[in-house]
């Protein structure tokens, strides 16, 4: 136990809230619209509306607020997420590598986007994946998006809170080590970021998703889907 634990953790949480605000405040509405397209045109077909879904590293709820599901959870260390999530989303504020307050085999889907790279060490990722595996029902899906370090040799480190570099293959290996069966492993899915650049028209986002051959030219994030 760390002495004066609250005084140690609080500045970190304040810094996290400040990073979210600096990074996403100006692009918030555009991000929400892009995620509406991603959920409706792509991810919803992987997630039956009867599912129990957890958004790991839910942030401001761009995904979990818009996906259709019977029961929805969002997990994040940023306390501000609670105010950003829809009323039907149950918020879990905790370190994802600690034991989750959910029963074994209670989830159908765990989704995470641009989150694993924020974990400080590989051990944190392993512990987190074991919690995912424990909480997923047999055959339940883990859907992971994230920046692929193979295609971002320098730009990956433009974000202050990036720690853990991953590729689709390194993620695949640790998933199999933990006990998952990898269903799909796409090295190039969507472009790297929606901030710090001129955003493309939403019509192009819809078109991009419908033309997988274009992913090879513009995609810099992996998409890995695995089953428990």
Q: How confident is the model at residue 194 (pLDDT cuts 50, 70, 90)?
A: low
List pLDDT tens digits, range 42-100: 999 999 999 999 999 999 999 999 999 999 999 999 888 999 999 999 999 999 999 99
Domain limits for position 50 = 5-227
26 pLDDT exceeds 60?
Answer: no
Average per-residue pLDDT for the chain: 89
Q: CB neighbours of 166 closer than 8 A, spacing ≥ 6?
A: 116, 117, 146, 147, 148, 149, 222
Q: How confident is the model at residue 4 (pLDDT cuts 50, 70, 90)?
A: very low
CB 151 within 8 A of CB 190: no
More confident residue, 140 or 78: 140
Residue 219 belongs to domain with CATH number: 3.40.50.150
Determine phi and psi for 114, rounding to 5 degrees: 50, 50
Task: Give one DSSP letter per residue of 176-216, joined into a string.
Answer: HHHT-EEEEEES--S-S-SSSSPPPPHHHHHHHHH-GGGHH
List pLDDT tens digits, range 115-128: 999 999 999 999 99
What is the number of domains present in the chain? Answer: 1
pLDDT of residue 25: 54
Determine phi and psi for 138, rounding to 5 degrees: -55, 125
Instruction: Quote the CA–CA distance of 172 and 175 in Å, as a whole number.
Output: 5
**Given the DSSP bridges, would you call strands 221-227 and 136-147 parallel, antiparallel or unpaired?**
antiparallel
CB 107 within 8 A of CB 53: yes
Instruction: Quote the CA–CA distance of 31 and 152 in Å, as a whole number.
Output: 21
Is the pTM for the entire model greater than 0.85? yes
> CB atoms < 10 A from the CB of 49, how many?
10
pLDDT of residue 9: 42
């Amino acid at each position: 136990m760390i002495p004066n634990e609250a005084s140690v953790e609080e500045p970190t949480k304040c810094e996290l809230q400040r990073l979210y605000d600096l990074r996403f405040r100006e692009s918030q509405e555009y991000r929400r619209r892009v995620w509406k397209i991603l959920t409706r045109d792509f991810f919803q077909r992987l997630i039956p509306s009867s599912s129990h879904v957890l958004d790991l590293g839910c942030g401001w709820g761009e995904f979990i607020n818009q996906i259709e599901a019977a029961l929805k959870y969002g997990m994040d260390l940023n306390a501000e997420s609670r105010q950003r999530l829809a009323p039907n989303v149950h918020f879990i504020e905790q370190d994802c590598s600690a034991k989750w307050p959910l029963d074994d085999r209670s989830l159908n889907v765990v989704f995470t986007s641009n989150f694993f790279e924020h974990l400080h060490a590989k051990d944190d990722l392993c512990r987190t994946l074991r919690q995912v595996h424990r909480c997923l029902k047999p055959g339940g899906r883990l859907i992971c998006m994230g920046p692929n370090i193979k295609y971002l040799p320098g730009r990956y480190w433009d974000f202050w809170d990036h720690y853990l570099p991953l590729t689709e293959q390194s993620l695949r290996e640790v998933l199999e080590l933990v006990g998952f069966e990898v269903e799909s492993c796409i090295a190039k899915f969507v472009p790297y970021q929606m901030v710090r650049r001129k955003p493309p028209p939403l019509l192009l986002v819809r078109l991009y998703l419908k033309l997988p051959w274009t992913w090879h030219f513009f995609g810099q994030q992996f998409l890995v889907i695995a089953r428990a």
